[in-house]
């Protein structure tokens, strides 16, 4: 009876997560210290969905047989994980020391102003979300901004409209 219930939960969890992640979890289970792979599993889940939803973390908990409280606890400890959906394009502005000294603060002000949102939020049209990064390792080219995977160097506030334009930025729609 008990096993049946567990199997049901496992089936449900497997249906929720993308297949490669499920396979990865199964591979980890065969290794020494399987629980130590929790963070890399969460990385993979976030890579796929863009964020960590409650149900996905619960599914990880069932499949790895780690208490849900612990999965959430680990996920919430690390800045890299986020728990709300992100915009189609993720704009991440570096706020490391070099970028700060070179005026990243002004770029951020302008960015928030253009999109009508604050850090961690998503624009009204769902196109952009803003995050701040802690140094992406291109300090010599500060201030640095990353949209999705593309790195922009030496960004000035008045270049933002053009850069965002490459991703379909429309001032009216963004702010609504």
**Which residues in the 97-116 window bind ligand FES by CB under 6 A?**
97-99
Assess contact for 130 and 120: CB atoms under 8 A: yes
For the beta carbon of residue 137, count every other beta carbon within 10 angstroms.
10
Q: Which does 101 bind (CB under 5 to 8 A by kind): ligand FES, another protein, none?
A: another protein
**Which residues in the 144-163 window bind ligand FES by CB under 6 A?**
144
The sign of the torsion formed by the CA atoms of 173, 129, 118, 153 equals negative
Report in angstroms how near the CB of residue 163 gets to ligand FES at its nearest: 16
The encoded tokens of residue 4 equal 């049946």
Q: Which does 151 bind (CB under 5 to 8 A by kind): ligand FES, another protein, none?
A: another protein
**Which residues in the 143-172 window bind another protein by CB under 8 A?**
144, 149, 151-153
- Classify each residue of 13-35 as buried b or exposed e, where b means 16 or more C-beta atoms within 10 Å of its C-beta: bbebbeeebbebbeebeeeeebe
Task: Name the residue number minimizing CB distance to ligand FES.
Answer: 96
Work out whether strand 89-94 and strand 128-133 pair parallel, antiparallel, or are unpaired. parallel
**Which residues in the 2-61 window bind another protein by CB under 8 A?**
33, 35-40, 42-43
Q: Which does 33 bind (CB under 5 to 8 A by kind): ligand FES, another protein, none?
A: another protein
Edge-to-edge order in the sheet of strand 145-147: 128-133, 89-94, 145-147, 150-152
Assess contact for 38 and 81: CB atoms under 8 A: no
* Cβ nearer to another protein, comparing 52 with 164: 52
Q: Which does 40 bind (CB under 5 to 8 A by kind): another protein, ligand FES, none?
A: another protein
Beta bridge partners of 90: 129
Chain contacts with another protein (rule: CB under 8 A):
33, 35-40, 42-43, 73-74, 77-81, 95-102, 133-142, 144, 149, 151-153
Chain contacts with ligand FES (rule: CB under 6 A):
94, 96-99, 135-139, 142, 144
């Amino acid at each position: 009876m008990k096993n049946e219930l567990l199997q049901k939960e496992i089936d449900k969890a497997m249906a929720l997560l993308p297949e490669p992640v499920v396979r990865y979890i199964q591979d980890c289970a065969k290794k020494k210290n399987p629980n130590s792979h929790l963070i890399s599993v969460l990385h993979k889940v976030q890579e796929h969905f863009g964020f960590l939803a409650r149900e996905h973390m619960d599914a990880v908990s069932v499949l790895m047989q780690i208490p849900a409280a612990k999965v959430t606890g680990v996920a919430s400890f690390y800045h890299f994980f986020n728990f709300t959906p992100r915009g189609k394009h993720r704009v991440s502005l570096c706020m490391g020391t070099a970028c700060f000294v070179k005026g990243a603060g002004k770029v951020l002000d302008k960015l928030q102003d253009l999109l009508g949102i604050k850090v961690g939020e998503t624009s009204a049209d769902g196109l952009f979300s803003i995050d701040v990064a802690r140094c992406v390792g291109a300090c010599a080219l500060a201030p640095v901004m990353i949209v999705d995977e593309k790195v922009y160097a030496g960004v000035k506030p008045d270049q933002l409209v053009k850069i965002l334009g490459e991703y379909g930025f429309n001032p009216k729609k963004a702010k609504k």
